[in-house]
Chains A and B, each alone.
Chain A
């Protein structure tokens, strides 16, 4: 049996390892589009902050890991998948046959179509190569404009600041991290950033970038033109699936899959940021683009590839944790609330502490927080375990910070 996994992110690597556990005899090929050993994007901010060397971003630290598991690593790009004859084509012209195929090609940064976006001093912050270029330009005293105050934008703020740059963030939305924060949290985060000396322009948009001498002129719709040495574009990502356009695999925002992470073609599966998987909370199908989901996908897809659809995915819970220059925020599940639900809020603006719980009947369905880190994982436990809160619902409505007690009380009664 030959398994081919395309994409060496967390999803692909986890899938390979899971397959190996389940089938000692299998032939496993892992195709990575990059020259480096499989690495983690999650670690790039820490590389930029010079907390770790490049090798510190690697998904697995043992150099022999893949050899040891007898996984063939192929550093090529896949140009085409021919589902009809169970083969795929590589950029070097080679063709590979598979029995089972997993597509875990992840996503890539996308840039808005504006003038000057291709200039040499304008970069995404997505790959190790991007990181190297940013590190080169973002030196002490330089001016940097960061386009996009989303998850990636926020997480690299600290590393940029540590490098001693003057930083301006330009966000199209009316608040920071609109995809994981409400007005209150986004507003708090903005004032936090400003208190650390970062200029934040919300409801603004970079309209064009031009070169004047060594510097860049950044024209901004809604604000004054800025001069910068470096522009980092972190405005969004899209799934890497252009190589599938001519295949018979059904595509939407990502690759469409069923509850087994299987595409419309029986022996082709998809996982991670490229897969439009099931969301636990509302049972809708969309791309979550988060590490735990990628790993979960990779594992479940692998089990189903080896053990013919024996493992049903009940949906991943969408969750994020973000450290913005020391202010830690989280969001879980339906943090924005649900129709007919109730919410409980604690807010201490002065100290940047915020905790909002969302309930539906007797269940916790979502949480967003600022400044809360201890035992925060129980939020996942409570939501995912569908823990019936009983008297703790009322207690949490009164004091949301008693999450851990609520969790223990409900897990003890269920254990």
Chain B
């Protein structure tokens, strides 16, 4: 119940589209969305395959709660093998297309093979067809969005698309839906483009109706909403400041990485913070932030809708960027701002717009620019290589130009599209890439927040904060406060967060609910929707099963325990300022205990016992 019970299989090579019933056994073991799609992918592709080959598959999937009135239940994921990491990739996005897919009657869409020519998938309830995308190939996500709305004469058509960087093989191109929501990380957009698939356009008018216990569901949903409304983070902080509520907080505790992680605090933090987005600009007196905005069914509404000062150098004579669009979230503001030493809010907003318009990940992009800036300051890169402009930390001009270049795949943008790992390797300074398994860090320094470092090192999709957001506990005290500076107890904390996250992601709701909700709040909603005995314990077990499934995929893809670590800088160069001054990441110290808690061998391989316990055959 609550699942649509059906999936679409789209063979791009043959242009055949077939439908299948959802695997009953798997959905009981993996719930939906991230978990279920990962199971399908694991069963269907060789983990060692080239992620940009026709052999790879790409799955768009919703969870059982997606499309219902449960708060935030509009999420969908893209699961594939990621080109940035060569690991299993799962990128989660909000907006409206996930719910639309469910409304059209589909739990997931599996794309396989490679189309001989550019196409897009059009789905209208039961009708699904591959249509010609010649006219939009080579254009941006925003142009594609407009063209498709126009063509189908439907303002409510929900669209996910890739932009030019994905077509050009950028390693961190994402899939953008509803103009400014994205399955942003690990390069899933490039996988889509490698299949000659430009966009997915969905209109669903069937709805989600098969709720197992309607009365119980409404009760659980309403209780959940009340908890979100009363919680200071989800009820006040996020609506008012978005995730940008964190900028000043994280800077103060000395965990805001800056200048390619040379520093753990940034002088310009306030200027690019959520608070600053509310302040009137000197030039035109308007604040950067116009309003907050919600994804489907979200009662938190952390999304930012912003404008750029029309007189700002980045948009002079570019009136197409003068209107409102998706504004900065914390991770983007950090990667584009603090990590590059840029404190120009308008410049960051401009780059954020470009990332949305063209579909590339602002975290990896920002961190790649940071690595390039460090190489430039070290003399490894010269002005000739960086498009004739000074590429120093703090240069808003360099940052905005870099975004334009990556968008158009021209000049230095071709190098920047590699991501920091490949870029730094190319120029002989691999140690300057702040990545795990090829993916760049988000906005929390592992020296100032020890648990998150362990999570980065073990995350199955490479460095990532939303695989086990221990920041909640270590900084915000959710569900209980732990000391961010100590390694003690963190392996258990990390495992618990990682497992819970797997379940949350697989249900179809947003991870941000967990600022206020535990699995005890979520289980009643899943149970009432789905039926069949979904308890908090079972959800945690599903999460653990997913984690191990992903791990096994990665092991088969060639990942070893040697990859479960952090760059040397974080393990050897101590934090220079703030509460964490003098500290390095104790990731190596934590790892054995983590493996043990996971039930893995000292090589990081799930033991037979663990596999048996979790039903991984």
In-complex A–B contact (CB below 8 Å): yes
- Contact surface of A with B, Cβ cutoff 8 Å: 346, 348, 351, 353, 355, 371-372, 398-402, 404-405
The A-contacting residues of B in range 131-181, CB under 8 angstroms, are 146, 149-155
Interface centre among B150, B152, B153, B155 (most CB of A within 10 A): B153
- Give the chain A neighbours of B146 by CB distance below 8 A: 399
In the complex, are the beta carbons of B152 and A399 less than 8 A apart?
Answer: no
- Taking a contact as CB atoms closer than 8 A, the residue among B149, B151, B153 that contacts A371 in the complex is B153
Report 7 cross-chain contacts, Cβ distance below 8 Å, ordered by A residue. A346-B153, A348-B151, A351-B152, A355-B153, A371-B153, A399-B146, A401-B154
- Give the chain B neighbours of A398 by CB distance below 8 A: 150
Fill in one digit per residue for B6-31: 1 if any A CB lies within 8 Å of its CB, else 0.
00000000000000000000000000
- Give the chain B neighbours of A399 by CB distance below 8 A: 146, 149-150
Chain A residue at minimum C-beta to C-beta distance from B122:
A351
Sample of 9 more A-B contacts, CB < 8 Å, known A348-B153, A402-B155, A405-B155: A348-B152, A351-B152, A399-B146, A399-B149, A399-B150, A400-B153, A401-B149, A401-B150, A401-B153
- Give the chain A neighbours of B152 by CB distance below 8 A: 348, 351, 353
3 residue pairs, one from A and one from B, having the closest CB atoms: A401-B153, A346-B153, A353-B153
- Give the chain B neighbours of A355 by CB distance below 8 A: 153
- Give the chain A neighbours of B149 by CB distance below 8 A: 399, 401
Complex CA distance for A399 and B152, rounded to whole angstroms: 11
Complex CA distance for A113 and B403, rounded to whole angstroms: 75
Interface centre among A399, A400, A401 (most CB of B within 10 A): A401
- Contact surface of B with A, Cβ cutoff 8 Å: 146, 149-155
How many A-B Cβ pairs are below 8 Å? 24
- Give the chain B neighbours of A348 by CB distance below 8 A: 151-153
Complex CA distance for A401 and B150, rounded to whole angstroms: 7
Complex CA distance for A351 and B148, rounded to whole angstroms: 14
- Give the chain B neighbours of A405 by CB distance below 8 A: 155
- Taking a contact as CB atoms closer than 8 A, the residue among A346, A371, A372, A404 that contacts B150 in the complex is A346
Complex CA distance for A351 and B155, rounded to whole angstroms: 16
- Give the chain B neighbours of A346 by CB distance below 8 A: 150, 153
Q: B420 to nearest A CB, angstroms?
A: 40
- Give the chain A neighbours of B153 by CB distance below 8 A: 346, 348, 353, 355, 371-372, 400-401
Complex CA distance for A346 and B149, rounded to whole angstroms: 11
Chain B residue at minimum C-beta to C-beta distance from A350:
B131
Chain A residue at minimum C-beta to C-beta distance from B157:
A401
Chain B residue at minimum C-beta to C-beta distance from A400:
B153
Interface centre among A346, A400, A404, A405 (most CB of B within 10 A): A346
Q: A392 to nearest B CB, angstroms?
A: 14
Chain B residue at minimum C-beta to C-beta distance from A371:
B153
Complex CA distance for A400 and B150, rounded to whole angstroms: 8
Complex CA distance for A353 and B122, rounded to whole angstroms: 15
- Give the chain A neighbours of B150 by CB distance below 8 A: 346, 398-399, 401
In the complex, are the beta carbons of A404 and B151 less than 8 A apart?
Answer: no
Q: A371 to nearest B CB, angstroms?
A: 7
Chain B residue at minimum C-beta to C-beta distance from A355:
B153
- Give the chain B neighbours of A353 by CB distance below 8 A: 152-153
Complex CA distance for A259 and B375, rounded to whole angstroms: 82
Chain B residue at minimum C-beta to C-beta distance from A405:
B155
- Give the chain B neighbours of A400 by CB distance below 8 A: 153
Complex CA distance for A405 and B156, rounded to whole angstroms: 12
Q: B60 to nearest A CB, angstroms?
A: 23
Complex CA distance for A402 and B151, rounded to whole angstroms: 13
- Give the chain B neighbours of A371 by CB distance below 8 A: 153
Q: A379 to nearest B CB, angstroms?
A: 14
- Give the chain A neighbours of B154 by CB distance below 8 A: 401
Complex CA distance for A399 and B153, rounded to whole angstroms: 8
Complex CA distance for A401 and B153, rounded to whole angstroms: 6
Complex CA distance for A371 and B203, rounded to whole angstroms: 15
Q: A201 to nearest B CB, angstroms?
A: 30
Complex CA distance for A399 and B147, rounded to whole angstroms: 10
- Give the chain B neighbours of A372 by CB distance below 8 A: 153
Q: B324 to nearest A CB, angstroms?
A: 14
Complex CA distance for A355 and B151, rounded to whole angstroms: 11
Q: B590 to nearest A CB, angstroms?
A: 53
Q: B207 to nearest A CB, angstroms?
A: 15
Chain B residue at minimum C-beta to C-beta distance from A353:
B153
Complex CA distance for A53 and B606, rounded to whole angstroms: 70
- Give the chain B neighbours of A404 by CB distance below 8 A: 155
Q: B111 to nearest A CB, angstroms?
A: 23
Q: A195 to nearest B CB, angstroms?
A: 15
Q: A240 to nearest B CB, angstroms?
A: 41
Q: A395 to nearest B CB, angstroms?
A: 11
Complex CA distance for A364 and B300, rounded to whole angstroms: 39
Complex CA distance for A400 and B155, rounded to whole angstroms: 10
Q: A350 to nearest B CB, angstroms?
A: 9
In the complex, are the beta carbons of A401 and B151 less than 8 A apart?
Answer: no
Q: B131 to nearest A CB, angstroms?
A: 9
Complex CA distance for A215 and B514, rounded to whole angstroms: 76
Complex CA distance for A353 and B152, rounded to whole angstroms: 8
Complex CA distance for A404 and B154, rounded to whole angstroms: 11
Chain B residue at minimum C-beta to C-beta distance from A403:
B155
Q: B561 to nearest A CB, angstroms?
A: 54
Complex CA distance for A402 and B150, rounded to whole angstroms: 10
Q: B151 to nearest A CB, angstroms?
A: 6
Complex CA distance for A348 and B148, rounded to whole angstroms: 11
Complex CA distance for A353 and B154, rounded to whole angstroms: 10
Chain A residue at minimum C-beta to C-beta distance from B155:
A401
Chain B residue at minimum C-beta to C-beta distance from A351:
B152
- Give the chain A neighbours of B151 by CB distance below 8 A: 348
Q: B117 to nearest A CB, angstroms?
A: 18
- Give the chain A neighbours of B155 by CB distance below 8 A: 401-402, 404-405
Complex CA distance for A348 and B149, rounded to whole angstroms: 12
Chain B residue at minimum C-beta to C-beta distance from A370:
B153
Q: A374 to nearest B CB, angstroms?
A: 8
